[in-house]
């Protein structure tokens, strides 16, 4: 490749870019430097906006995850409490059944003693 041709092309394109920057700067009441700043802003601001949006999404997802974990812990506590209550009711039911069986056996023994 011919480096002189490449350099001439780069000079031409570079001059065109600088002319464009100067034109943009004039629109906003400045010169070439203003055009460069505005052009860079047009590229950089969307990137910054995207980064802010991504950070907000990440924070929102973290909050959702935290609330989800909190709900799971609360639900686990409620399940344990219900199991404890169920065990207590089962113990009461077993106790009442034993008392009922004892009363029925006592009545049977009393009625069989009376018949003899």
Report whether pLDDT(68) > 80.
Answer: yes
* pLDDT of 112: 72
Tokens 């990440």 found at: 58
> What is the pTM assigned to this prediction?
0.49
* pLDDT of 114: 67
Name the band, by pLDDT with cuts 50, 70 and 90, for residue 40: confident
Report whether pLDDT(24) > 80.
Answer: no
Cα torsion 25, 29, 31, 34 to 10°: value is -60
Tokens 């069989």 found at: 112
Are residues 27 and 16 in contact, defined by beta-carbon separation less than 8 angstroms? no
Helix (H) or strand (E) holding 70: helix 32-115
* pLDDT of 18: 75
d(Cα 80, Cα 90) in Å, to the nearest integer? 15
Name the band, by pLDDT with cuts 50, 70 and 90, for residue 2: low
């Amino acid at each position: 490749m011919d480096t002189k041709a490449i350099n001439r092309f780069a000079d031409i394109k570079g001059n065109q870019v600088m002319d464009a920057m100067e034109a943009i700067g004039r629109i906003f009441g400045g010169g070439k430097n203003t055009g460069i700043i505005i052009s860079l802003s047009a590229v950089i601001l969307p990137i910054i906006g995207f980064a802010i949006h991504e950070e907000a999404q990440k924070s929102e997802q973290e909050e959702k995850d935290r609330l989800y974990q909190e709900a799971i812990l609360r639900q686990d506590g409620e399940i344990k409490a219900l199991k404890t209550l169920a065990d207590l009711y089962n113990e009461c039911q077993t106790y009442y059944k034993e008392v009922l069986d004892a009363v029925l056996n006592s009545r049977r023994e009393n009625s069989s003693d009376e018949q003899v």
